[in-house]
């Protein structure tokens, strides 16, 4: 005889609320990640908490793999675009013109020069020690400085005392 419904100690009853996860979520998550969605945005889309999305990633391997694959492809496309933007690139194009009612189609090549902002962004992230804005400079002093204002004249006086 099986245990009565609602018995938390019954064999095969994991207890808790049934999962909201559906198998089609893996494909939906993949497509959303291709569009650049974060885990928080996935949670909003599926109308669950971010912790629930994290739980699904642990419990459903296909869900985790689809998210990982979608994010990797999206990131790779962005990296490729940033690299092209930073180094400059050319692409084939077509120019259309009309003269006396005749449309002419002319193949052309468009060139985009390197973008300094993209270059700086790339270098700061790839080689932060060489390209960071903050540079540490070591300064040695020969004494302790004390800054004060002269009571009578109001002049600022800097005292340097040897160490």
Q: What are residue 24's phi and psi, to 5 degrees?
A: -70, -15
Q: What is the pLDDT of residue 6?
A: 59
Number of separate domains in the chain = 1
Q: What is the pLDDT of residue 150?
A: 81
- Is 41 within the bounds of a domain? yes
- Is 5 within the bounds of a domain? no
Q: What is the pLDDT of residue 153?
A: 83
Q: CA–CA separation, 145 vs 140, rounded Å?
A: 12
- Is 109 within the bounds of a domain? no
From residue 125, alpha-carbon distances to 17, 47, 60, 118, 130 in Å are 44, 35, 34, 11, 10
Structural Rg of the chain based on CA atoms? 32
- Is 31 within the bounds of a domain? yes
Residues of the chain with pLDDT under 50: none
Q: What is the pLDDT of residue 98?
A: 94
- Structure tokens that stand for 126 in this block: 């790839």
- Is 128 within the bounds of a domain? no
Strands (E), 59-117: 89-99, 102-112
Own/partner contacts of 38-42, CB < 8 Å, gap of 24 or more, are 39/67, 42/67
- Is 36 within the bounds of a domain? yes
Q: What is the pLDDT of residue 1?
A: 52
Q: What is the pLDDT of residue 94?
A: 96
Q: What is the pTM of this model?
A: 0.62
- Is 32 within the bounds of a domain? yes
Any idea what the Cα angle at residue 64 is, between residues 49 and 41, rounded to 5°? 35
Q: What is the pLDDT of residue 81?
A: 94
- Is 129 within the bounds of a domain? no
Q: What is the pLDDT of residue 12?
A: 64
Domain that holds residue 82: 21-87
């Amino acid at each position: 005889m099986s245990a009565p419904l609602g018995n938390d100690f019954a064999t095969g009853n994991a207890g808790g609320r049934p999962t909201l996860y559906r198998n089609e979520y893996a494909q939906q998550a993949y497509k959303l990640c291709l569009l650049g969605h974060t885990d928080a945005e996935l949670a909003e889309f599926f109308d669950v908490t971010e912790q629930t999305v994290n739980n699904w990633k642990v419990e459903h391997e296909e869900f985790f793999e689809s998210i990982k694959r979608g994010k990797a492809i999206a990131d790779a496309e962005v990296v490729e675009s940033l690299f092209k933007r930073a180094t400059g690139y050319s692409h084939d194009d077509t120019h259309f013109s009309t003269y006396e009612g005749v449309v002419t189609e002319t193949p052309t090549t468009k060139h985009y020069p390197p973008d300094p902002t993209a270059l700086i962004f790339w270098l700061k992230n790839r080689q932060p020690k060489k390209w960071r804005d903050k540079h540490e400079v070591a300064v040695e002093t020969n004494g302790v400085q004390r800054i004060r204002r002269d009571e009578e004249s109001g002049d600022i006086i800097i005292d340097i005392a040897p160490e």
